[in-house]
A and B are shown apart, each in its own frame.
Chain A
């Protein structure tokens, strides 16, 4: 039981710290402006090229084959340097690792991990949100291709993606969970149209909706077997619930430090309850940091995230929204210096708060997570 660095970990940490001292791109806070997303691809490639991305993934695909706890070091040092968090695509990688054939992994994983190819994930649909298995986007076999029709929504990075990991219905005559298949689909082809969705904080470069009308996927780009789509989706979403996988700890810790600095620099400016909310942001961020360390340590036993991932997702959401409330507390809106609509919308703390409301929806709502905790972790009876 040791939260401190081994000699190898310590030397890795020093190397990372030295690199960060000269390589921090100084992007704005996570997802508070389109400028953040404009710089995200370059940041991914810079991290990868320097050997600081994909640490726990197999070396044959561009990873480093290190224990998952190395990601804790990455997150701590990114936060300490005030650098952006690492790209959140571990869940895609895990989906490929578990379900794709050797050939498909060889062709796609190196590009995903290096950041050479940008990916988005086409799961949710307007009529299939929490009830994902009801999705209706279809793929029909046409010789060596599959022809896709339908609509996806809440597709992160759809505007910049080269590829989409698409979940489509390939068999309407079997029980709904068994008729789904996953494909890698090129985004730059006729028959695909995407449009951005402007979110409540004004950001429009994170989420989009994607329309498929006669777009094609090659048969060889099917991921896993026909009908294996649901199993792949469950692998992906269970990893999408893991703070250790997503790298969000770095941005919470970074925000917590900035918030503390702010209230210390001008103690008389804030109400006691606003200062307290900054304290809770620190407490939650530190709780999540050590919680992620505990979970990633369990991977040393070869455990992969099971239903307990829903516990982690709820703790991550709690942290995200505690940081959000602290951000609101120090925003110009709360401190009264710029309550005008236009000025307030230019306030990145306010935008951080507004963005935090999505934390209890994305990657599976908190209500769905609590259903899973109650029935799969606590073993309460299903009604």
Chain B
């Protein structure tokens, strides 16, 4: 039992942090800086971080190139730096293809979720008259999305084209609508059993938890920076106990979240699917509740400024709100924990 990061993991974390720091948006206005965003995209593509979960074998089989913990470290650092670059969507798509034993996608691909974002969307029946829609998450630069399709021996994978951009709460990661008709089946060696889908859900939730942890850490840092410079009553507000305690509580919530999220990421690879899914639900319940509260606190510490469009604080809140929703936020996660917590046997 050794929950420390390896030297390689610390180096990966630092590299992701550096990328987000150097090329992420330093301000709300910088979101529209297209040359910067293009450089960020180019470095991300060159780093190969979107393929960390691709199978190590050429034929789409074998272990992933990197562990879920490694991938979570990248997710966390990108969120901490509010990196407006596509990462989560293609990572989740690569995980699905690997689990199904399908060849890697040839173009940038994300996943399509149900409209409430609670799970993978399913393709409509061939002659369905209802035009279901799905939501492709983190879809910047993506041309298609993966969803489930019913097959003779269990669920399979199919791709659908993306249609129109959707209004997104998160200003750093766009959403796009996807039609669930006209899905094109992806050749795959394995049917996606409940166990494999649990494995994917556990991984996906762990990644959203890592994103929430990065969001919280970035937000707390922003709040502390402001509390060190904003003066009222002839003192910087960071000297006031009320402000100190609010930020201290936010930091504590982020640290508890970090522990739960790290365990969930480890579990996604190391534990049987059901246990991994439970570890993910525990982390998600904790992180999604904490993240909203932490981001709201940081807005409050900024006072009136925190409520303006140009203050970075709402970028963290918006990113947290989206990550919390993906595969279920606080209430669904808590319900999952209550239904599945093991009360006998070893911990």
Contact = CB atoms under 8 A, between A and B. Distances in A.
A209 to B, nearest CB: 30
Contact of B1 (A275, A282, A286, A297): A297
A222 B247 CA distance: 41
B112 to A, nearest CB: 29
Nearest to A314: B252
Contact of B247 (A17, A77, A276, A380): A380
Given A17-B346, A279-B338, A382 B239 contact: yes
Contacts, number: 166
A279 B334 contact: yes
B286 A3 contact: no
Interface in A329-381: 367, 369-371, 373-375, 377-381
Interface stretch (B3-11, B41-49, B83-91, B103-111): B3-11
Chain B contact surface mostly = helix
Contacts of B227: 380
Interface in A268-321: 275-276, 278-280, 282-284, 286-291, 293-294, 297-298, 300-301, 311, 314-315, 318
Contacts of B345: 80
B347 A79 contact: yes
Interface stretch (A35-43, A227-235, A257-265): A257-265
Contact of A1 (B228, B266, B338): B266
B263 interface: yes
Nearest to A257: B343
Nearest to B346: A80
Interface in B240-286: 240-241, 243-245, 247-249, 251-252, 255-257, 259-260, 262-263, 266-267, 270, 279, 282-283, 285-286
A9 interface: yes
Contact of B285 (A5, A279, A294): A279
A337 B285 CA distance: 31
Given A76-B347, A311-B252, A381-B228, A371 B241 contact: yes
Contact of A380 (B5, B224, B263, B344): B224
Contacts of A2: 1-3, 266, 270
Contacts of B116: none
B309 interface: no
Contacts of B67: 1
B257 to A, nearest CB: 8
Residue in A3, A256, A278 with the greatest tally of chain B CB atoms within 10 Å: A3
A331 to B, nearest CB: 18
Given A257-B343, A260-B338, A283-B282, A1 B244 contact: no
A260 B342 CA distance: 9
A301 B7 CA distance: 13
Contacts of A286: 260, 279, 282
Contacts of A264: 343
Nearest to A10: B1
A75 to B, nearest CB: 8
A72 to B, nearest CB: 6
Residue in A6, A260, A279 with the greatest tally of chain B CB atoms within 10 Å: A279
A276 B270 contact: no
A73 B249 contact: no
A377 B263 CA distance: 23
A67 to B, nearest CB: 8
Name the 9 nearest CB pairs between A and B, nearest first.
A383-B239, A374-B244, A291-B259, A373-B248, A76-B347, A290-B263, A370-B248, A297-B3, A380-B238
Given A13-B346, A380-B227, 17 more contacts: A1-B5, A79-B347, A260-B338, A260-B343, A282-B341, A294-B259, A300-B2, A300-B4, A311-B255, A315-B256, A367-B245, A369-B248, A371-B245, A373-B252, A379-B224, A380-B224, A383-B235
Interface of A: 1-6, 9, 13, 17, 69, 72-73, 76-77, 79-80, 253, 256-257, 260-261, 263-264, 275-276, 278-280, 282-284, 286-291, 293-294, 297-298, 300-301, 311, 314-315, 318, 367, 369-371, 373-375, 377-383
6 contacts: A1-B6, A72-B1, A280-B285, A291-B260, A293-B1, A371-B241
